[in-house]
Structure 1
Amino acid sequence: MLAAAGFSGKLLVRCVRTLPPYAVSPSALCGVAYYRGKKTPANSGTLIPSRAASGAHYATGEARQGKLVRNGEDKKAVICIEGNIASGKTTCLEYFSKTSNIEVLTEPVSKWRNVRGHNPLGLMYQDPERWGLTLQTYVQLSMLDRHLSTITRPLHTKQAPKNTSRRNTTVVSAHISASWPTVALEHTAKTSAASQEARMHCACSAPVRMMERSIFSAKYIFVENLYRSGKMPEVDFAVLSEWFDWITTNISIPVDLIVYLQTSPQTCHERLKQRSREEEKVIPLEYLESIHQLHEDWLIKKSSSPLPAPVLVIPADQNLQEMLHQYKENRDKILTASSL
């Protein structure tokens, strides 16, 4: 599976020091959070510690002794942007790609739509019981490849094959509701080779990697939802779980911070209707409500699956301008994730 994932770089077993558990002030429960000793406003993002705060290690981010690690990759801080469908993840990535020296990796949706001419994403939405295992096996593989990737591109120079998702082309658009105006970032294809090379070097040398979702949410949210809803047979769930457990046990997948864009299912549903992506036309409100509850159980209540890192919660029901203000307010918290 490693070879199939493009895991061609050198592997080595390393011992990595254990980081101290992240702590947060109890006053965060009263609307005032403290981040690295500094008070933060109640309307800004709220930081939630993982179970490490009670003395246990993070699920994957710390106790990495004996695991396979890509040479040098664990030095880069990794931030995962999590949230429901249409919660605003692409817009968040666009903001930080334009304002910060970071490496951005979007979900490989174009791959899920075209596997040697087949569209497992579309098939899964049409018949999840038949195609759920097929899609989620490939999602798990492609997300592992994202985590281990050393080939980096800035978001605004990412090229995509023909007939793929608009989010992966050189014109990056987020079509959401009327209160969330269309965002279109257009970049000319006539950029000089020297300029492109400079941007590539910038991304490769960036101290922070920001990812859209993660291998953890693929398993803890979307696979779990298929299983709980009765659309994935128990044997399929068991096979995917065995793969996931082997991966996270034997391969180091460090995550330094999870940014949770907490959005109501109703808001997500309205945005979905506005952006009109073909596969998403069949998504009902009930599906978004299930995905929302799984995010809440995992990232807020911490009652379902292990957290790989601390969680920064950003309310994301607001319009575009208010969200850009939120990202600016929380920028330092997010980009200093490696110092936690």
Structure 2
Amino acid sequence: MTQNLLFSVNANTFEEPVKKWRDVNGYNALAHLYEDPSRWGLTLQTYVQLTMLEQHQKKTDKPVKLMERSIYSAKNCFVENLYISGVMPGLEYIVLTEWYNWIIKNNHCNVDLLVYLQTKPETVYNRIKARNRSEEQNITLEYLQQLHDLHEEWMVKKTKFSLPSKVLIIPADKDLEEMYAIYNSREKDILCGVS
């Protein structure tokens, strides 16, 4: 969604900082996570929190900042999944949660809107295969289902974790061209009324 073509007049867009996760001074933290999540889950998710905080803090020259993911989804879905699946030990989860709580309390990470691109796990799986990142080759449909369920519990059912803002749900199983048309038709909503 964060193609720089979208909303370029009124918004700065920030892609998920995957490049940073793939090259931490020569170390591929993302690959390490998928190779051995119980060993590297805390390491990657700590770095994810840092890089997401950096994006939340970036100054922009346009009235809207669009971020692909946020510090909130990193914690409430990805960290949570590591913990409830038994991959992240309780102590690591507590430490990471305390860091997250401190960051949220002491830094400007406010958001006006969460845009949930609601996508079936099967669609995400096919997109991952088409994207063909080497680190992601062993991602399973079961893993994607777990993440989907956490996103649904948090943003749709609102039964897990508080929401930092209102949520706009956009069904996103269509192909890219159709999604661009949907984004364009929902631009005013996505940009919180900025035109």
TM-score by length of 2: 0.95
Cα displacement (A) at 1:316: 0.5
Kindly tell me the number of residue pairs found equivalent between the two proteins. 195
Q: C-alpha separation between the residues in 2 aligned to 1:233 and 1:336?
A: 39
User: What's the counterpart of residue 297 of structure 1?
Assistant: 153
Q: Which runs of 5 or more residues in structure 2 are unaligned? A: none
Matched, 1:222 2:131: no
Contact 1:143/1:215 (CA < 8 Å) preserved in 2? yes
AA aligned to 1:260 is: Y
Q: What amino acid does structure 2 have at the position aligned with 1:255?
A: V
**SS of residue paired to 1:260:** strand
Q: Which residue of 1 aligns with 2:36?
A: 127
Task: Spell out the pairing of 1:1-340 with structure 2 (5 A cutoff).
Answer: 92-94=1-3, 97=6, 99-150=8-59, 204-336=60-192
Q: Which has the higher helix share?
A: 2
Is 2:57–2:108's contact at 8 Å kept on the other side of the alignment?
no
Structure with max Cα Rg:
1
Give structure 1 regions of 4+ aligned residues with deviation exceeding 2 angstroms.
Answer: 95-101
8 Å contact 1:256–1:337 — kept in the other structure? Answer: no
Task: Measure how far apart 1:96 and its partner are.
Answer: 5.2
TM-score, length basis structure 1: 0.55
- Secondary structure at the aligned position of 2:66 is classed as strand
Higher relative contact order (CA 8 A, sep 6+): 1
CA RMSD of aligned residues (A): 1.6
Structure 1 residues 297 and 96: CA distance shift in structure 2, 3 A: farther
Quote the offset at 1:337 in angstroms.
Answer: 5.1
Once the two structures are superposed, what CA deviation does each residue of 1:257-291 show, in whole Å capped at 9, x if it has no partner?
11110000011111111221101101000000000
Structure 1 residues 254 and 276, CA gap change in structure 2 (3 angstroms): same
8 Å contact from structure 2 (residues 48, 74) kept in 1: yes
Larger strand fraction of residues: 1
Runs of 5+ in structure 1 lacking a partner?
Answer: 1-91, 151-203
